[in-house]
Amino acid sequence: SYELTQPPSVSVSPGQTARITCSGDALPKQYAYWYQQKPGQAPVLVINTDTERPSGIPERFSGASSGTTVTLTISGVQAEDEADYYCQSADSSGTYVVFGGGTKLTVL
Amino acid sequence: EVQLVQSGAEVKKPGESLRISCKGSGYSLTSFWISWVRQVPGKGLEWMGRIDPGDSYTNYSPSFQGHVTISADKSISTAYLQWSSLQVSDTAMYYCARRYNSSWFDYWGQGTLVTVSS
């Protein structure tokens, strides 16, 4: 079955830049989306269609795509950004939704 | 305002059946697919399957096919996730989510915690 691969954890100091990658063979064909999930809360969309930031999401969140890897970048990380981040996409046929395993962002 | 409101937490024994619900408001349920997503405590998000409430067409992740059933009653704007025989391994938080134009999930329910224990 199709999988998206994320690093389990990323740690940065406040004000630094955090980069979280997501790799999958179908990413050149299928868009990727990014969600932020804080403890006890439902996920919240922070990036759609690889690079677009929904309204209400701070400008420090951005997305990029290159081949089989998409990247979520958080510039000037703040303490409130500490959370789990998940990428989401679909298999090459678009039939099945897939989530990455999640990355825990720790703000030191 | 678009909202997805899920039914409350459940505690069940292995082998019991269960149906949890997700009621949409602020939009027409038939306009967007509804998916169910599982999150085992301390683990990641897993897509279980989805339904088109307009025609009740479903498709399931191979990991969940045959173990759960997704349905909807458009007359009351509600989607359902049900089990005929729960297992301890079904203990998890379950979210419903609205999928925008076959792409991203733009609205999520608050989650329903299902605990299965003897």
| pLDDT tens by residue, A7-60 | 999 999 999 999 999 999 999 999 999 999 999 999 999 999 999 999 999 999
Please say if the pLDDT value at position B102 is more than 90: no
A83-90 and A33-37 as β-strands: parallel, antiparallel, unpaired? Answer: antiparallel
pLDDT at B44: 97
Query: DSSP 3-state helix, strand, coil percentages of chain B (rounded to 5)?
Result: 10, 55, 40
pLDDT digits (tens, 9 = 90+) for A92-103: 999 999 999 999
Residue A68, number of CB atoms within 10 A of its CB: 13
Pick from A31, A35, A44: CB nearest B103: A31
Listed residue (B14, B4, B29, B26) closest to B97, CA to CA = B4
B110's tokens: 């608050």
Distance of CA B118 to the CA centre of its chain: 23
B45/A102 CB distance under 8 A: yes
Average pLDDT over residues B13-38: 95
How far is residue B94 from each of residues A34, A67, B31, B80, B100, measured CA to CA in Å? Answer: 19, 32, 22, 11, 19
Instruction: Enumerate chain A positions whose Cβ falls within 8 A of a Cβ in B.
Output: 1, 31, 33, 35, 37, 42-45, 48-49, 54, 84, 86, 88, 94-102
The pLDDT-based confidence of B101 (bands split at 50, 70, 90) is confident
| Best B36, B38, B45, B57 residue to mutate vs chain A (most A CBs within 10 Å) | B45
Average pLDDT over residues B32-52: 97
A96: which chain B residues are within 8 Å (Cβ-Cβ)? Answer: 47, 59, 61-62
B13's tokens: 């024994």
The pLDDT-based confidence of B47 (bands split at 50, 70, 90) is very high
Average pLDDT over residues B89-103: 94
For B65, which residue in chain A has the nearest alpha carbon?
A96
3-state secondary structure of B88: helix
A42/B110 CB distance under 8 A: yes
Residue A8, number of CB atoms within 10 A of its CB: 9
The DSSP secondary structure of B15-64, one letter per residue, reads T--EEEEEEEESS-GGGSEEEEEEE-TTS-EEEEEEEETTTTEEEE-TTT
pLDDT at A95: 92
